[in-house]
Chain A
Amino acid sequence: MSDPAIVLPGTERVNAAVRKSANRKRKDFKQNNLVGYMFISPWLIGFFLFAFIPIAISLYLAFTNYHLLRGGEWVGLANFERMFTTDIRYGRAVLATFQYVLIAVPLRLVFALAVAMLLNTKRRGVYWFRAAYYIPSVIGGSVAVAVMWRQLFGGDGRVNEGVINTFIGYLGFERVNWFGNPQTAIWTLILLAVWQFGSPMLIFLAGLRQIPSELYEAAAIDGANASQQFFRVTLPLLTPIIFFNFVMQVISGFRVFTQAFVITAGGPLDSTLFYALYLYRRAFNDFQMGYASAMAWVLLLIIAFFTALNFRLSRYWVHYDTKEG
């Protein structure tokens, strides 16, 4: 691209702010509003059209009984009242989501950390094992894996033929009707989440590599054994990363949709009717978009609440000063 065509009228303008800072080292960097806004305009236009305006509409809809085909009117707080008093399925959705987040997130992080510890070594071939453990996370969000997962656990009435049940049979235990029982259906989704521990594992691994080896040498000289080294050196120094992973995983845990949609379809008896799934059904199957918008705002509040809670609790267990570790 040739330069003269691109030079904009504003480029040469030297404004007061720059003149004031003319003695600064980087005086060549003029403030340049027009050029700046030109560069960020794709995001700025996108933000107004696809985020700002929709947010305003969504906030309005949350207080209406808007129906995609029938329209709607202002109903005040009625949507929220319905959510917390008469809508039994909403309560079940919240409960199922909490159950999922509270079990799947810690399990996933424990696995991620354990495997990262295992891979934090200079042994040969570690590179390949790291890749192997990460593959499930790369493909895990896809419909293909969800369909496969349902078959592994003997979906579609194939209780005796599923892979997992066949292995359970080999071990001499009784086969489980995974999708027929509200207690077990959610575990298929939890196990899928645990299987995909790749991303937090990589983040933990990067964190483990940052810990100076002198600390371990010093601990060893003081007579600390492996478990003491883990609890007194590794774990305290990793707490900022554990915290980061925990916050991110809780946020994404509340938004799980595809897996529940394909693998369990919310059943049986709404035991896996996750928040995002129930919201989708209200909005796009029942077209109750006012009610679904209200649900979306409550979801935002729930996520914000848990994120804030995490930050507040973090001061009791997260060490940011490495010297204290």
Chain B
Amino acid sequence: MATLDQTLNFAAHKRQRQRQNLSRTIIYYTTVGLLAIVMLYPVAWLVASSFKPLDEIWSNVTSLIPSTLRFENYAEGWQGFGGITFQTFFGNSFLHAGLGTLFTVTSSAIVAYGFARVKFRGSGIWFSIMLLTLMLPSQILMIPQYIIFNELGWINTFLPLLVPRLGGDVFFIFMIVQFIRGIPIELDEAAMIDGTSKAGIFFRIILPQIVPALVTAAIFSFYWTWEDFLGPLIYLQSPQLYTVALALRAYTDTGSINNWGAVFAMLSLSLLPVILIFVFFQRFLVEGIATTGLKG
């Protein structure tokens, strides 16, 4: 039986606990908040600088709030260089990343289904060989691939960047295989009894189920392709074909830039697709990394 004394004692204790919790909460949110500011400051600085009047960019360098918004930075940056506007560069990048992602994800899904659900001689060996190729540094393939594509006359076209994508991507194949293995096999069996072929099962039963894995693969594939620098650097030579990454590098490499507002505007714009996808598909990304260890 609780006496009055005990009840009062308990209430005082509870108040003290609450006070302690409050101060802990304040400390916690201050810490994570400050860290978030430090983490996001560089990006905020870039975007802020892209709107600053030219004389303000370096004179009021740490400020995140432009005195006036100068939208002309974007119009001037869009003009690009050498008579080629950023419309061309963005077009090239969307072509590269869009088609590349389409090829990669489609092929990866088909191959993954073969490994996960069709029994055939040698499937174990091929699967092991496939995983082994993950260990291979791209530096080993880069040079002979260049020589081959050079012989084929593919240099200075998008073919060397897109055609190999038709083989799928080992990372994604592996991820989708794991995903398919989690789907109850009874669904396949039921369809098979109804006389559906393997291809039919793939399209009608498996494909609708693996959409989340395909979305994750598509997001990562788009990111990696959009940000890819080495591939375009090696294969694309005429500025007409430059992707955004290549164009930004060429744009800022001249050493005599006087319109930094325009540069920062184009840098910000190039990050926009990536950040938009992140905002809309955060869930897929976070789960993709947490469950498969994919690198972002």
- Does B141 contact A132, Cβ atoms closer than 8 Å? no
Please pick, from A7, A50, A141, A303, the residue contacting B137 in the complex, using a CB distance under 8 A: A303
Enumerate chain A residues within 8 angstroms of B196, measured Cβ to Cβ.
3
- Does B111 contact A299, Cβ atoms closer than 8 Å? no
- Does A138 contact B45, Cβ atoms closer than 8 Å? no
B8 sits at the interface (CB 8 A): no
Q: What 1/0 mask marks residues of chain A from 287 to 316 whose CB sits below 8 Å from any chain B CB?
A: 001001101110110011001000000000
Q: What 1/0 mask marks residues of chain A from 95 to 118 whose CB sits below 8 Å from any chain B CB?
A: 000000000000000000001001
B187 sits at the interface (CB 8 A): no
Q: Given A11-B197, A289-B143, is A255 in contact with B138 using a C-beta cutoff of 8 Å?
A: yes
- Does B199 contact A1, Cβ atoms closer than 8 Å? yes
- Closest Cβ of chain A to B37, distance in Å, is 9
The stretch of B10-18, B65-73, B283-291 in contact with A is: B283-291
Least CB separation from B293: chain A residue: A203
- Does B199 contact A45, Cβ atoms closer than 8 Å? no
A178 sits at the interface (CB 8 A): no
Please pick, from B45, B110, B148, B296, the residue contacting A134 in the complex, using a CB distance under 8 A: B296
- Closest Cβ of chain B to A303, distance in Å, is 6
- Does B141 contact A118, Cβ atoms closer than 8 Å? no
Enumerate chain A residues within 8 angstroms of B199, measured Cβ to Cβ.
1, 3, 6, 35
- Does B118 contact A32, Cβ atoms closer than 8 Å? yes
A131 sits at the interface (CB 8 A): yes
Least CB separation from B289: chain A residue: A202
Consensus secondary structure, chain B interface: helix
- Does B36 contact A276, Cβ atoms closer than 8 Å? no
Q: What 1/0 mask marks residues of chain B from 140 to 171 whose CB sits below 8 Å from any chain A CB?
A: 11111111101000000000000010111010
- Closest Cβ of chain B to A285, distance in Å, is 11
- Does B143 contact A293, Cβ atoms closer than 8 Å? yes
Enumerate chain B residues within 8 angstroms of A258, measured Cβ to Cβ.
229-230
- Does A51 contact B133, Cβ atoms closer than 8 Å? yes
Enumerate chain A residues within 8 angstroms of B119, measured Cβ to Cβ.
29-32, 36
Enumerate chain A residues within 8 angstroms of B76, measured Cβ to Cβ.
none
* Contact residues of A between 123 and 148, Cβ < 8 Å to B: 123, 125-126, 129-139, 141-145, 147-148
Enumerate chain A residues within 8 angstroms of B234, measured Cβ to Cβ.
284
- Does B290 contact A205, Cβ atoms closer than 8 Å? yes
